[in-house]
Amino acid sequence: MTLTPVPRLAVIVVAAGSGTRLRGGAPKAFVGLDERSILHHALRGVFTAEAAQVVVVVPDGFEGEALTDARDAAGDRTDLVTVVTGGATRQESVAAGLGALWADVEIVLVHDAARALTPRAVFDRVVAALDAGAVAVIPTLPVVDTIKRVDAEGRVIAAVDRSELAAAQTPQGFRRDVLEAALRSADDDHTDDAAAVASAGHPVLTVEGDAAAFKITTAPDLERARAIVSERPLAATVAAPAQRGPQVGIGTDVHAFGGDGTLWLAGLEWPGEVALSGHSDGDAVAHAIVDALLAAAGLGDIGTHFGVDRPEFAGAHADAFLSHTVGLLSAAGWRVGNVSVQVQANRPRFAARRTEAERALAAALGGAPVSVSATTTDGLGFTGRTEGVAAFATALVLPA
């Protein structure tokens, strides 16, 4: 555990509801999405955003379970976690969370645990708007359905102008003093915090929400969240690179001889050698490195990012693949530590050009060291029969 300076920002994660509409057999935040609970997923999102005091508000009796979830999601930032018991309404739960804030906190985000898959970008947009001077900020999405006002008998009374409507999400962000004062003087039970702040007379700014920040309310919502979690690459659900440290990955690739033109392998052109076939130049060495790097960063594989439907990579050489991969890693917060790749092939002979290949590959990776070795297979297998080339790569990635 590292001790972080006291943050100026706090996130109150309200998770004290019972989930009556979901009927999930447990308070909603403690229902599982995969092997982890809704709360655990929500907290993972929170901990990928800017360092903040994180106050988790839970139903009476669930404090221990919440603390375990929170510590697990917090990585090396467990010192930032506080768990408190919530109240009978959401507003009371928010008030309980406010009561646990540290003195130095100036900005408060209130976030529904039920919006378990909220992307980090939404947090960032809310904080940025507060930093730019707003006192209250909510993420919203345009309303896409046509909205009608309907009476108790289900008859349409009037159409509602959709252009004036927006669906409010969380995290909702506030200057701490403004939120505290608004909730102190609020008599109604507002369904969200922005309503209390608005009725206290403060302007509430909107920033763009995200469809992924939908609230798990009913059983179909839970199914949708479970489907998303089961399909998305692990990296999207795990902690940020800074909390994960160095990671290794492996990648292999094979291409057959018989392509057009000259051979391209390990980032070099080999005049006089038979070309490899493939959608691109068939550079098995480069492709194995791409897979190893993506695997290390948990970003899927070469097919995820360079599918055959990407015409810009048809016929592309190693430098295009590798530099694009470095860009993908960098966007996810990783940089390349080093790469080691072994080629199995009878041809071409690497001995004379090994250093040249290492330099070309390293340059395409932005300077990270690459080692290349080559071997034959004693006449065995397809490489032994000179039918093609196989490459095996390992890569180390580090938090950027």
139: contact with ligand CTP by CB under 6 A: no
Nearest distance from C-beta of residue 341 to Mg ion, angstroms? 55
Stretch that binds ligand CTP, among 11-19, 74-82, 161-169, 248-256 (CB under 6 A): 11-19
Residue ranges in 32-91 that form contacts with ligand CTP under rule CB under 6 A: 57, 86-90
Residue ranges in 6-35 that form contacts with Mg ion under rule CB under 5 A: 17
Structure token digits, residue 73: 């999601």
179: contact with ligand CTP by CB under 6 A: no
Q: How do strand 334-344 and strand 268-276 relate by DSSP bridges?
A: unpaired
Q: Which of 11, 12, 19, 195 binds ligand CTP (CB under 6 A)?
A: 19
Q: How do strand 156-160 and strand 147-150 relate by DSSP bridges?
A: antiparallel
Q: Could you tell me which residues come within 8 angstroms of residue 352 by beta carbon, excluding any fewer than 6 positions away?
A: none
Binding flags for ligand CTP, 283-322, as an x/- string (CB under 6 A): ----------------------------------------
Nearest distance from C-beta of residue 30 to Mg ion, angstroms? 15
Q: How do strand 9-14 and strand 107-112 relate by DSSP bridges?
A: parallel
CB atoms within 10 A of CB 329: 24
Nearest distance from C-beta of residue 24 to ligand CTP, angstroms? 10
Q: How do strand 388-399 and strand 172-175 relate by DSSP bridges?
A: unpaired
Nearest distance from C-beta of residue 56 to Mg ion, angstroms? 17
Q: How would you write 103-114 as a 3-class SS string?
A: CCCCEEEEEECC
Structure token digits, residue 250: 């492996």
Residue ranges in 205-224 that form contacts with ligand CTP under rule CB under 6 A: 215, 217
98: contact with ligand CTP by CB under 6 A: no
Q: Is the peptide bond before 59 cis (omega within 30 degrees of 0)?
A: no
Distance CA 180, CA 184 (A): 6
202: contact with ligand CTP by CB under 6 A: no
Residues at the interface with ligand CTP (CB under 6 A): 14-22, 28-29, 57, 86-90, 93, 112-114, 215, 217
